Amino acid sequence: MCRATSTLPPVLAARALEMAPSGTASDLDPHLVCVLGEHAGPGHWAHACEIEGVRDREVWARWTDERAPYTVLVRPDCPGESPDGAEGCAMFEGHPGPCTWELDDPEGDALQKLFALGRDTGSVLGLILALHELDPPAP
Ligand SMILES: [Zn+2]
Ligand SMILES: [Zn+2]
């Protein structure tokens, strides 16, 4: 895995929490770790925080080797699953490189738990929040 690290600046942390309206500060981890496999491009992606009650999308942070974290955004989860359906992908839809379950890394175990958690928290409330997410208030 890439495993590049960075720190989410306070202004982006606040923005990430706005995107997860039911989120609290404890949902957010400012210590960013790139979840991608080894990648040639400069762009890193890390999970920033959960959107409580929403199981199919999460808040992600982006940065590069030259540039500190510059944006947070909501991305749908990657629908990728292992051929036997036992393992899912903890990355976002359209991510570069292999899925989580294709990476041989102990860190993947933690991501798998995250995925399993996300799969169990779906609810009508989540759907409502997801719809709200599609039409966010003007900044
Ligand atoms: Zn990376
Ligand atoms: Zn994937």
Confidence of residue 63 (pLDDT cuts 50, 70, 90): very high
> What does the alpha-carbon distance between residue 15 and residue 13 come to, in Å, rounded to a whole number?
5
In a domain, 35, yes or no: yes
Token duo for residue 65: 């080797």
Half-sphere exposure of 68 (CA within 13 A, CB side): 8
In a domain, 118, yes or no: yes
In a domain, 139, yes or no: no
Residue count (the chain): 139
> What does the alpha-carbon distance between residue 69 and residue 126 come to, in Å, rounded to a whole number?
28
Is pLDDT at 36 greater than 80 in this prediction?
yes
Q: Which domain holds residue 91?
A: 5-134
Paired strand residues for 61: 46, 72
Hey, CA dihedral for 42, 46, 51, 57, is it positive or negative?
positive
Number of structural domains (the chain) is 1
In a domain, 13, yes or no: yes
In a domain, 72, yes or no: yes
In a domain, 111, yes or no: yes
pLDDT per residue as tens digits for the range 73-121: 999 999 999 998 888 898 999 999 999 888 865 555 555 556 555 554 4
The Å distance, Cα 90 to ligand 2 centre, comes to 7
The Å distance, Cα 139 to ligand 2 centre, comes to 31
